[in-house]
């Protein structure tokens, strides 16, 4: 950084402290969800879909996805038959070489789509057409008219990944039951303070460190980071400073003076590890979600179950933070598999915890006509 730039930065930071940090920071808050929906509205005119179809697709797009990649394509063969496929430009081969997390993300998308359709008087019949995780077309959806189901769709809008501010309190039996009862064979809760929870935490930190040292993994993550408002608005995907919960003066500094590749520098690497280690010590413990097997249909089903749980968690004001490095790094997966039976197929490692208050969603989404095809 040049002297003049440094001086400028120093004077700005000092100025903000004198004037009250809020005044300067609030003017640099990043691109918001409301801006994105305004943009989506402007663009949603094509493909012969009516308002209801567009609404269903918009709710579907609020699904969580690995790195907020939003890997979905929707091909509208006719108005009542849609094909969901993987956008080949939206995969993450260095951290997800088998498309496992891409398929889990598509599963979450399908779940949101089905919920929104049902609430709007359409039953979505989903059939999985992919044989391999590398097939382009994954699922076909056809719709049948039905009386609308009552469902609070606001939940889909309000759900988000939350990383910070977890209370140091285990889940009550009622909450545990609500989040895991749907599938007792595949959902496992390990309260913080137990030996198993400590073991998961230590492995998460260890595998995070291993991934930080793997250049190709870091290069891939950086590709999906959006620090500047300009990039955020241009791409409407990926990880923003807001969604990474890097706020205050560090967030302001990064937004204006750093580029994603700066994260490769040892200084940031160490900070990142410390930050993740501190986060992983917060909260009520861990939920591990497993699947029946590793087939495409099981991964889609597990992604759907995960999203159902995330939505229920939102209802109970419980935060959920997937921490996937143990499952992404070969050494992490090998360790887990070697200490479990053959039929154990872990797909999500989620840190969970109560919050003082659940924050508003901040991650960006692309408008529907960016992922629609004829």
Ligand X SMILES: Cc1cc2nc3c(=O)[nH]c(=O)nc-3n(C[C@H](O)[C@H](O)[C@H](O)COP(=O)(O)O)c2cc1C
Residue 324 lies near ligand X (rule: CB under 6 A): yes
Residue 180 lies near ligand X (rule: CB under 6 A): no
Query: How many other CB atoms are there within 10 angstroms of residue 7's CB atom?
Result: 11
CA distance 244 to 100: 22
Structure tokens at 342: 């053959």
| Cβ within 8 Å of residue 261, ≥6 positions away | 222
Binding mask 274-313 toward ligand X (x if CB under 6 A, else -) reads ----------------------------------------
- 146-175 residues near ligand X, rule: CB under 6 A: 160-161
Q: Of 19-27, 98-106, 123-131, 178-186, which segment contacts ligand X by CB under 6 A? A: 98-106
Of 49 and 347, the one with the shorter C-beta distance to ligand X is 347
Among 130, 323, 352, 368, binds ligand X (CB under 6 A): 323
Of 66 and 212, the one with the shorter C-beta distance to ligand X is 66
Taking CB atoms, the residue at the shortest distance from ligand X is 64
- 222-251 residues near ligand X, rule: CB under 6 A: 239, 243
- 46-85 residues near ligand X, rule: CB under 6 A: 64-68
Among 108, 116, 124, 352, binds ligand X (CB under 6 A): 108
Angle at which helix 248-257 crosses helix 3-19, to 10 degrees, equals: 150
- In whole angstroms, how close is the CB of 13 to ligand X at the nearest point? 28
CA distance 359 to 374: 37
Query: How many other CB atoms are there within 10 angstroms of residue 75's CB atom?
Result: 17
Residue 179 lies near ligand X (rule: CB under 6 A): no
Of 61 and 192, the one with the shorter C-beta distance to ligand X is 61
DSSP state of 367: -
Alpha helix segments (H runs only) across the chain? 3-19, 21-26, 33-43, 51-60, 100-119, 154-158, 173-180, 195-212, 215-223, 229-235, 248-257, 266-280, 296-315, 325-328, 330-338
Interface ranges with ligand X (CB under 6 A): 64-68, 101, 104-105, 108, 160-161, 239, 243, 321-324, 361, 363
């Amino acid at each position: 950084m040049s002297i003049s730039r440094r001086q400028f930065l120093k004077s700005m930071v000092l100025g903000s402290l004198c004037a009250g940090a809020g005044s300067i920071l609030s003017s640099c808050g990043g691109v918001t969800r409301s801006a994105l929906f305004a943009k989506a509205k402007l663009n949603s005119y094509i493909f012969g879909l009516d308002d209801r179809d567009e609404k269903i697709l918009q709710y579907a797009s609020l699904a969580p996805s690995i790195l907020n990649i939003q890997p979905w394509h929707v091909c509208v063969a006719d108005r009542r038959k849609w094909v969901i496929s993987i956008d080949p430009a939206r995969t993450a081969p260095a951290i997800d070489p088998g498309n496992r997390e891409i398929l889990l993300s598509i599963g979450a998308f399908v779940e949101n789509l089905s919920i929104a359709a049902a609430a709007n008087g359409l039953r979505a019949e989903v059939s999985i057409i992919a044989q391999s995780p590398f097939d382009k077309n994954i699922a076909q959806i056809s719709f049948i008219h039905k009386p609308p189901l009552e469902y609070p769709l606001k939940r889909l809008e309000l759900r988000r990944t939350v990383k910070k501010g977890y209370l140091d309190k285990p889940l009550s039996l009622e909450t545990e039951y609500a989040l895991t009862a749907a599938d007792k064979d595949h959902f496992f809760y390990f309260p913080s303070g137990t030996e198993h929870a400590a073991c998961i935490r230590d492995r998460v930190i260890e595998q995070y460190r291993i991934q930080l040292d793997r250049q190709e993994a870091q290069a891939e993550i950086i590709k999906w980071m959006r620090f500047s408002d300009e990039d955020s608005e241009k791409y409407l995907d990926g990880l923003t400073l807001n969604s990474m919960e890097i706020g205050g003066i560090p967030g302001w500094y990064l937004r204006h003076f750093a580029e994603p590749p700066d994260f490769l520098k040892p200084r940031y690497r160490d900070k990142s590890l410390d930050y993740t280690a501190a986060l992983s010590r917060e909260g009520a413990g861990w939920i591990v979600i497993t699947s029946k097997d590793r087939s495409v249909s099981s991964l889609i089903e597990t992604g759907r179950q995960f999203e159902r749980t995330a939505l229920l968690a939102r209802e109970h004001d419980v935060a959920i933070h997937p921490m996937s490095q143990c499952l992404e790094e070969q050494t992490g997966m090998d360790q887990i598999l070697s200490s479990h039976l053959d039929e154990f197929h872990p797909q999500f490692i989620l840190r969970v915890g109560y919050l003082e208050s659940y924050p508003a969603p901040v991650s960006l989404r692309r408008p529907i006509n960016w992922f629609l095809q004829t």
